[in-house]
Structure 1
Amino acid sequence: MKKANYFILSIMILLVLSVIHLIQGQADYTVSQLLTEIWTPGRIQDVVLTLRLPRLAIGIIGGMALAVAGAMLQTLTRNPLASASTLGINAGAFFFIVLFAVFFPTLLSEFRLGIALFGAIISALMILLLAGRRMEPVRVALTGMIITLFFSSLTGTLQLLYENETGGLFLWGSGTLVQLDWSGVQFAWPVIVLFLMIALLLAKQLDLFQLGEDLATSLGQNVPLMKLISWIVAIILASTVVSVVGPIGFIGLMAPHLVKLLGVKKHGLLFIFSMVWGAILLVGADVAGRFISPHSEIPVGALTALVGAPCLLYLAWKKAQFMSNGQSKLGNTATPMRLSFSLLVVSILFIALLFIAIAYNGDVWILDWSSFIITEFRLPRVLTAALIGILLAISGLLLQGILRNPLADTSVIGLTSLGGAGGMIFLVALPSVSLAFLPIGIAIGTIFAFVAIYFMAKKTKFNPVLVTLIGIGLSAFGSSIIQVLTIKAKLTVTNALVFLSGSTYATNWLDFKLALLVLILIAAPSILLSRYIDMLQFGEDTAQSMGVNLSKIRIITLLFVVILTTFTITIVGVIGFVGLVAPHIARRIVGNKTRAVWLLASMIGAFLLVLADFIGRTIIMPSEMPSGLVVSLIGAPYLLYLMYKMK
């Protein structure tokens, strides 16, 4: 089929979706009524012109802008995984909008685009700083995903601390096309149209750049200037969309790839086709959202992630399947301390923290440890937090060791996100079933993530970057499911944020007993895997020559992690980063011997989560900040630090 025919078919698809989009909603009418009564004043004209047509218009121009921005970023970074969402540009823009909504609402109303643009530029500069000069495709996308995690943790903190100021941003923060009038379209369309035209004017320059920077320079192209202008165009297009409809991901990833499947290569046609398919994807996602839930708004960004995350997984696997294993060092110290001394110091600090956390509530000290508040509330909560910290630290240690991946953690590689999604599906689909069966849903989610990672990464011998990128794609997929179900089940913003962040609030002696049982029966025996993990430090070939059955050991270890993750989510929700940070700190103290790291990391994990629980309980009293959110404020920057060190 000729490209002209493809284009005509694409336009027809967009027209059909647009008509369906206009007749969807609680104000019901048919296509024939739409075509006949739109021209005369009345109910249908009011609904269409005031609500539905602005929503459709912003969907079309927003999809066009995101698609072209994605196509440009893929060329500039030579990265098929690039888009405004995967590079963290959307997340940076949205964070600064939330920041100004809280502290400078007047400035936000006057300079919304400028504020979003500033956040997007910050994200882009972080990408250029952390990704390295080579701009290796998978690494660039991975860095962008970590930047997204970093800004998302900051945004979540603001949304929880300032719920009244940001309450209206929860749905919008997931990406929504809802428009109450034409103001959003009037604000966005001049900027988008102008910079789409500039992008088309840059098309031939990008064709030349795609041949290679050296060749482009020899043919007279000012490569630095062209790259600068192109980056600016892509960032402004993405920022404009974020400032009106919130961060909508994966449109810029999917649309250019769909167009390239049609045989379109030159940037002029690539941009034109991408505009149409970006609009198709965004309007189609909104149509699907209103079909799934006719009486409540499902964020269109969650639906694009449901489709886009598998697309990211496929592209990451396709790009990395021929990589060498490239396993990274786990971090070490040239002068390790004695384990006994290290454990003594950490134990003293931990006991001091336990005393403060139990006796102090942020206002007064309670030294009567027989009081009801201490015995029935404070003590089980603090001790449960300590046990969960141990379980999370052991999970992270096992993952990092068996995958030889310094970035491995249950939150980073998608186990906690899909486990949480499995739990949410269980709660929403089977509301009458006892919560005692909740671990079944969580286990199904974590096993799904485990199977996906194992079979997608096995061919590359579990390349660390690929495993992490697959995990982040799975996390996006799981988070989108949780967002959809949160809206569907009509959870409050606070409850949703607490579940997504993880909290030790209201844990009791039953939770403590369950965590203790898991520690004794599951976590403690995992120390027997230490010698196999130590063998792996010399490389897979050496380990196999020493008689290690790698496939068997990996499956056993990952099953340990799946079980530990299932129960930690069951007890406290989705808490990440403890399993990332605790083993790294332990290795920098006692070196790389897994048994020593296992013991010290367990103590550090307990210390970190008890500290996070204490800070979350006291910093904004009488309200509380979820301990998982406190930990993420430490873990996300630490991930960025690791990426910088691995550059």
Structure 2
Amino acid sequence: MKSSIKKSSPWLFIGGLLLLFVLSILHLYQGQADYTIRTLMTEVWYEGNVQNIVLGLRLPRVIIGILSGGALAVAGVLLQTLTKNPLASPSTLGINSGAYLLTVIAMVFFPQYIGDYPFVISFLGAGVSAVLLIALVGRVMEPVRVALTGMIVALLFSSITGAVQLLFENETNGLFLWGSGTLIQLDWSGVKFSIFFILIGLIIALVLGKSLDLLSLGDDLATSLGQSVNRVKAFAWFTAILLSAVTVSVVGPIGFIGLMAPHLVRLMGIQGHKLLILHSFLWGANLLVAADVLAMWIQPGQEIPVGAMTALIGAPWLMYLAYKTGKRQTRGESRLGSSLLPISYRWILFGLFGLTIMIILVSVSYGAGSFFTFQDWLDKSFNSPFVMQFRIPRILTAFLVGMLLATSGLFIQAVLRNPLADPSVLGITSGGGAGALIFLVLFPAVSIQFLPIAAMIGSSISITIILILSWKTQWQPILLALMGVAVSAFGSAIIQILIVKANIGVAPALAWLAGSTYAKGWEELKLAGIVALITIPLSLLFIKKFDVISFGDEVAEGLGVNIIMTRLLAIMLGVCMGAVSVSIVGTVGFIGLLAPHAARRMVGFEHGKVIPVSLFLGGILLTSADLIGRIVLAPKEIPSGLVVALIGTPYLLYLLRKI
């Protein structure tokens, strides 16, 4: 078996080189200047426009694609071996996001250093991400848990990055495309800068090859064979971070190459880390160059982020790997939030009602054109055209959408008995966002009233895919969440491509991706009100069934509950509420996670009490996020979705440690 692999290995490598050559020629052929391959091959040798374009712009882009794809693939090999996790890569472990975050922060606050030390800054950010990941997961690196923790860390860093970009739009101008991953090169400086570090990283990885072979057998066995396990791990972590950081510093955070390439090489039968590293470098280069070729073919003359293309390809691959890994997981029942407040349910409702009134009054009073005294508010608020036309409908819309998102999350958590279920975690919001944007871009002449239907279709497709793939594990919480993150990445990639295609401005694009209650008026309030009036009373019909289902499927069926029909109807209702919310405010996340958990901590598991409390908490959360976003850095606004995400991602990490 080993001899046959060794014999086939050179041919696989040669085949990969030939494919890379073909892809490179295709890549050089593509571009805004329309040249035939024959013209390129004949005129590139002579001074003129063709030579300047090919040698000055297109060839550096191909070379940086080869170097970056190879570097990410080798980093993926090292991370998968270190964590013993087939789902590990620089993107799934949050390393790329950390490097990008620190780069954006440096560009805003320390611009004098970003030009001279971009690699050092990226390296520090990647290192912080790696240290945070190790601290969160501990020594027991369970594959699915490690990957999900890494992707939640990536979500947290992405939220902070988005907030910084919106608050300092001028300083970060031009980062949207680079932040999505792009191979654009204006000269050879990026290649000259990165090639040294990438070659050093590749050499270190190859030198570590035999040690990594021993490490893959287990720490105890490797130690008994005389290997210094900690030293090997330290060098391997350093090399993976080095390769990831240098890639981010020249092409931005490109995901999934480090996940796909090593698995593709293993499927070819390649064994042993030296061969695995060499072949992964080659096939990582092939994948990234091919993704860029595909991006330019889809939209000639307009730049589509190559990172979005790799996500379109890589997210289904992540779902497949998560499915294979998750089949070995057992379903873990988790009932979080059992500590009750020592206050009666009636007083809790009364307190939440009072808090709601207070938040709404404060929200009406503060912002642009604030009223600083109660008398000012009485005299001017309802007589002010600005308040009546803009602020009041915006605040009430935020409250109603928060209620819808909270109920959506509660429904999905209840019927799947999964504490991590939430419209954003399970891909409902990103699927709805993709569906809404597809409708807006492809059917601009159709009435905007059909937008919620388009969002609902996108959300339904997302949740259906996730539920089918995780059916055999009975919707095991961590696996289901990881599937949702993969679907969210796929939906976000579609959104990024459509934003570029539709030529939406950077600030509106970031606001849409984050979720914002900005400029919501009476029409949005009317839609949210109609949906709330229909769906919230319907939710009360599920109270007893949810209570019974919480004891398990067998008990529920024994008591006469039709489990399949109840799950189907509840999920459909949850998807409807989540999709309508997306069509109104964009991809706001985590309300459906935070509100139900907080409600259970206040009143226990009886859904007759949990549902009303969740409704209040969801509305209060989004209204408060809208208020904070308006006043913290006024006159600039932070999208309410970002404010919620900054709260929600740490809480999601907390839940992971509890499950």
Question: Does residue 1:66 correspond to 2:72, yes or no?
Answer: yes
Checking the alignment, whether the CA contact within 8 Å between 1:250 and 1:304 is kept in structure 2 is: yes
Name the aligned partner's letter for residue 416 of structure 2: L
Checking the alignment, whether the CA contact within 8 Å between 2:432 and 2:583 is kept in structure 1 is: no
Checking the alignment, whether the CA contact within 8 Å between 1:64 and 1:276 is kept in structure 2 is: yes
Q: CA RMSD in A?
A: 1.4
Question: Does residue 1:404 correspond to 2:410, yes or no?
Answer: no
1:408-439 CA distances to partner (integer Å, 9 max, x unpaired)? 11011100001100111111111111111112
Of 108, 119, 144 in structure 2, the residue corresponding to residue 113 of structure 1 is 119
Alpha-carbon distance, 1:553 to partner? 1.5
Name the aligned partner's letter for residue 495 of structure 1: P
Q: Gaps spanning 5+ residues in structure 2: where?
A: 1-6
SS in structure 1 opposite 2:337? coil
Alpha-carbon distance, 1:471 to partner? 0.4
Q: Map of 1:223-622 to 2, 5 A cutoff?
A: 223-333=229-339, 337-361=343-367, 364-365=370-371, 366-367=376-377, 368=380, 369-622=382-635
Residue 198 (structure 2) aligns with: 192
Checking the alignment, whether the CA contact within 8 Å between 1:421 and 1:445 is kept in structure 2 is: yes
Identical columns (%):
51
Alpha-carbon distance, 1:640 to partner? 2.1
Distance across 2 between alignment mates of 1:458 and 1:203: 39
Alpha-carbon distance, 1:112 to partner? 1.1
Distance across 1 between alignment mates of 2:369 and 2:106: 31
1:515-568 CA distances to partner (integer Å, 9 max, x unpaired)? 121112112211221222222332333333333332221111110111101211
Name the aligned partner's letter for residue 441 of structure 1: A
Alpha-carbon distance, 1:398 to partner? 1.2
Shifted more, 604-613 versus 1-10: the winner is 1-10
SS in structure 2 opposite 1:325? coil
Distance across 2 between alignment mates of 1:486 and 1:519: 29
Q: Gaps spanning 5+ residues in structure 1: where?
A: none
1:184-214 CA distances to partner (integer Å, 9 max, x unpaired)? 1111000000110110011111111111111
Name the aligned partner's letter for residue 318 of structure 1: K
How many corresponding residue pairs?
646
Question: Does residue 1:137 correspond to 2:137, yes or no?
Answer: no
Alpha-carbon distance, 1:67 to partner? 0.3
Residue 205 (structure 1) aligns with: 211
Of 3, 10, 19 in structure 1, the residue corresponding to residue 9 of structure 2 is 3
SS in structure 2 opposite 1:614? helix
Question: Does residue 1:126 correspond to 2:147, yes or no?
Answer: no
Name the aligned partner's letter for residue 640 of structure 2: S
Checking the alignment, whether the CA contact within 8 Å between 1:153 and 1:636 is kept in structure 2 is: no
Alpha-carbon distance, 1:458 to partner? 1.2
Alpha-carbon distance, 1:126 to partner? 1.6
Of 18, 26, 31 in structure 1, the residue corresponding to residue 32 of structure 2 is 26
Distance across 1 between alignment mates of 2:402 and 2:257: 37
Alpha-carbon distance, 1:336 to partner? 5.0
Name the aligned partner's letter for residue 154 of structure 1: I
Distance across 2 between alignment mates of 1:587 and 1:298: 44
Shifted more, 215-224 versus 40-49: the winner is 40-49
Alpha-carbon distance, 1:3 to partner? 2.1
Q: Map of 1:81-100 to 2, 5 A cutoff?
A: 81-100=87-106
Checking the alignment, whether the CA contact within 8 Å between 2:319 and 2:483 is kept in structure 1 is: yes
Shifted more, 593-602 versus 194-203: the winner is 593-602
Of 149, 152, 155 in structure 1, the residue corresponding to residue 161 of structure 2 is 155
Distance across 2 between alignment mates of 1:248 and 1:500: 18
Distance across 2 between alignment mates of 1:79 and 1:317: 13
Checking the alignment, whether the CA contact within 8 Å between 1:330 and 1:400 is kept in structure 2 is: no
Distance across 1 between alignment mates of 2:333 and 2:295: 41
Alpha-carbon distance, 1:615 to partner? 1.7
Alpha-carbon distance, 1:363 to partner? 5.3
Alpha-carbon distance, 1:362 to partner? 5.0
1:275-298 CA distances to partner (integer Å, 9 max, x unpaired)? 110000000011111111111110
Residue 652 (structure 2) aligns with: 639
Distance across 1 between alignment mates of 2:494 and 2:290: 18
Distance across 1 between alignment mates of 2:546 and 2:84: 36
Distance across 2 between alignment mates of 1:444 and 1:407: 23
Shifted more, 173-182 versus 435-444: the winner is 435-444
Alpha-carbon distance, 1:252 to partner? 0.4
Question: Does residue 1:183 correspond to 2:189, yes or no?
Answer: yes
Name the aligned partner's letter for residue 210 of structure 2: K
Q: Taking structure 1 as the reference length, what is the TM-score of the superposition?
A: 0.98
Checking the alignment, whether the CA contact within 8 Å between 1:127 and 1:143 is kept in structure 2 is: yes
Checking the alignment, whether the CA contact within 8 Å between 2:331 and 2:476 is kept in structure 1 is: yes
Distance across 2 between alignment mates of 1:539 and 1:513: 39
Residue 49 (structure 2) aligns with: 43
Alpha-carbon distance, 1:502 to partner? 1.6
Shifted more, 304-313 versus 553-562: the winner is 553-562
Distance across 2 between alignment mates of 1:479 and 1:11: 32
Alpha-carbon distance, 1:100 to partner? 0.5
Name the aligned partner's letter for residue 220 of structure 1: G
Of 200, 215, 226 in structure 1, the residue corresponding to residue 221 of structure 2 is 215
Name the aligned partner's letter for residue 266 of structure 1: G
Distance across 2 between alignment mates of 1:509 and 1:28: 49
Name the aligned partner's letter for residue 96 of structure 2: N
Distance across 2 between alignment mates of 1:71 and 1:551: 42
Distance across 1 between alignment mates of 2:343 and 2:467: 35
Alpha-carbon distance, 1:241 to partner? 0.1
SS in structure 2 opposite 1:459? coil
Distance across 1 between alignment mates of 2:20 and 2:569: 49
Checking the alignment, whether the CA contact within 8 Å between 1:362 and 1:619 is kept in structure 2 is: no
Alpha-carbon distance, 1:32 to partner? 2.4
Name the aligned partner's letter for residue 327 of structure 1: E
Shifted more, 582-591 versus 370-379: the winner is 370-379
1:440-472 CA distances to partner (integer Å, 9 max, x unpaired)? 211110110121122111111110011100100
Checking the alignment, whether the CA contact within 8 Å between 1:84 and 1:252 is kept in structure 2 is: yes
Alpha-carbon distance, 1:645 to partner? 3.5
